[in-house]
Amino acid sequence: MSIDNSVNGTASSTVSSSPFLKAIVQQIRGQDTYGTYRNWADDLILKPYVVSKQKKREIPLDGEVDPLTKARIMAFYRGVAACIEKETGLISQVVVDLSHEGFGWVLVFSGRLLLVARTLRDAHRFGFDSLEKVAEEGTKLVEKGIDLAKRFPEVGKL
């Protein structure tokens, strides 16, 4: 548990070395109308993305997905979209469609091209083992999206 809760040098360096993590932080700070996070370090803002297996088991799956969790999912995929935009110039939309049971779709698209298309399951428990894992997963999605955008530029610009 000490690893999950530490806010130390390692976490900070993870954030500063990952353009994707920086993109998520930017998304969250951009939505921070009341300045709640103004004095927070980047790694503290990202901490809720780290949910240990044990913690996941403790989150009940009944009832609507928590609005904060939804916002977290949204910021994650908006971060993906922002990174793809930086590389390809394609501006994209993020659509998250969750049922009341936490099942659903996340779609990131530009023109008529789906850059990311993922099903979500147990969205209540959205999270990763570590910050490195967040960066890894996001970067994978970004790379796949950039690859698609480059292979089918005309579809992305429709």
Structure token pair of residue 71:
């916002």
Nearer to a copy of itself, 46 or 113 (CB): 113
Q: Min. distance of Cβ 47 from a copy of itself in angstroms?
A: 28
State the residues that interact with a copy of itself by CB under 8 A: 93, 95-97, 105, 107, 109, 111-115, 117, 148, 152, 154-155, 158
Nearer to a copy of itself, 11 or 108 (CB): 108
Nearer to a copy of itself, 46 or 81 (CB): 81
Q: Min. distance of Cβ 127 from a copy of itself in angstroms?
A: 22
Q: Min. distance of Cβ 154 from a copy of itself in angstroms?
A: 8
Nearer to a copy of itself, 128 or 152 (CB): 152
Q: Min. distance of Cβ 152 from a copy of itself in angstroms?
A: 5
